[in-house]
Amino acid sequence: MRGLAKTSRSAGSMELVDVETPEPAADEALIEVEYAGLCGSDAGIYAFKSSFERMELPTIIGHEYTGRIVEVGDEVSKFSVGDRVVERPIRSCGDCYQCEVGQANVCPNKEITGVDHDGAYAGYIAVPEDDLHAVPDDVEPRHAALVEPTAITTRAVIRNSRVKPGDRVFVAGPGPMGILAAQVANAQGADVVVAGVGRDTAYRLPLAEELGFETLNVEADDLEAYREELTDGVGYDVVFDTTGHPSGLTMAVDEVRKGGQIVLVGQTGETTMEFTPLVRSEIDLQCTYSAMYEDFERALRLIGSGDVDHATFLDDRFSLLEADEAFETFLEGDTCKPVFDVSVLRD
């Protein structure tokens, strides 16, 4: 089979490689991959940010995907050949304190599919059955490829935020996590505003508008005036920072109301700011990371019900056979969520 692999520690360096189809271990299922999404972390691998130095290259990347089981190991009991599945790609150790207390998403010994071992930009992938999640019939395969990022935002909004019906919500960053978080918050009954920067005005902010959200360009619009108009000068009840940029948190502090909540979804890196105003305003600063079983279940239900619109959200104009175009377009902000037909790697 073929796979798209990161082959060197420099920007770009993504190559189609020929590898053997994996043999599933006794506790694994072999998945014939149908569709796979491009995540911000995949783009980070493409650009080769420092957080991916631990990778042993070459590594086939990709962790947002769906497919059908074509073979099962002797010890597999929960799944059968023909089942449609997605993977929960944070593979935890099962033995550490975090795993024992139900926080496997922050397991210190975790391995991530497509980073620490070969991923899903390939014809087939072998996965332990404990990391697989069944896909119901009411979820289309292209949409199922996006269950994992949707699960991350269901955790951010439903489990880790205080969003309630009627709340005013500000989402900073119209990338994949931002637009999905906006949809999940909207499904909880919140009034949502999505904010981006100038380069987002070409594709991502118009996409948010197509999905029904009011949008702001933070480089051109008067945020204070909009805050006065949209929140009666109080500020937003909950702000989601999905930017992954140091400026996102400082902007969130300006936009949130006293006694409100900031939820950090994006991985900001290093930033400097004054924290005294947060203390004096009793701002709740909440972090959220990855997703677990219940988050995947909620994501599948929201997709199946249509509360999360993947048909409008996904972009299927790219091919894994010419993947550089997809990565470069993503990094430029001219797409939001590319989804690849992986069957081309079996042709």
pLDDT, mean over the chain: 96
Q: At what angle do helices 293-305 and 147-154 cross, to 10 degrees?
A: 110
- What are residue 6's phi and psi, to 5 degrees? -80, 125
Per-residue model confidence (pLDDT) at position 256: 98
Whole-angstrom Cα distance, residue 175 to residue 97? 33
Q: Given pLDDT bands bounded at 50, 70 and 90, which one contains residue 269?
A: confident
Helices (H), the chain: 40-47, 97-100, 141-144, 147-154, 176-187, 204-210, 223-231, 246-255, 276-280, 293-305, 310-313, 323-331
Match 């502090």 to its residue by tokens: 253
Other Cβ atoms within 10 Å of 65 Cβ, number: 30
Q: Tell me the CA distances in angstroms from 284 to 160, 181, 257, 261, one per residue in order.
A: 11, 18, 10, 4
List, for residues 175-233, the tens digit of each pLDDT value.
Answer: 999 999 999 999 999 999 999 999 999 999 999 999 999 999 999 999 999 999 999 99
Is 90 exceeded by the pLDDT of residue 50?
A: no
Nearest to 95 by CA among 85, 108, 81: 108
pLDDT at position 32: 98
Provide the H-helix boundaries in 70-158.
97-100, 141-144, 147-154
Whether residue 270 is predicted with pLDDT greater than 90 in this model: the reply is no
State both tokens at 149: 């990022």
pLDDT of residue 268: 83
What are the pLDDT digits (tens) for 95-106? Answer: 999 999 999 999
| pLDDT value of residue 51 | 85
**Contacts by residues 41-45 (CB-CB < 8 Å, ≥ 24 positions apart):** 41/115, 42/114, 42/327, 43/327, 43/330, 43/331, 45/6, 45/114, 45/115
Mean pLDDT, to the nearest integer, of 229-256?
95
Cis bond leading into 58, ω under 30°?
A: yes
Running DSSP on this structure, what letter comes out for residue 176? H
Sign of CA pseudo-dihedral 198, 203, 206, 208: negative
The pair of structure tokens assigned to 185 is 């918050």
Assign 94 a pLDDT band (cuts: 50, 70, 90). very high
What pLDDT, on the 0 to 100 scale, is given for residue 272?
A: 84
Specify the pLDDT at position 271.
83
CA end-to-end span of the chain, whole Å? 9
* Residue matched to tokens 């059955």: 129
Query: What are the pLDDT digits (tens) for 300-335?
Result: 999 999 999 999 999 999 999 999 999 999 999 999
pLDDT tens-digit profile of 330-340?
999 999 999 99
Alpha-carbon Rg for the chain in angstroms: 20
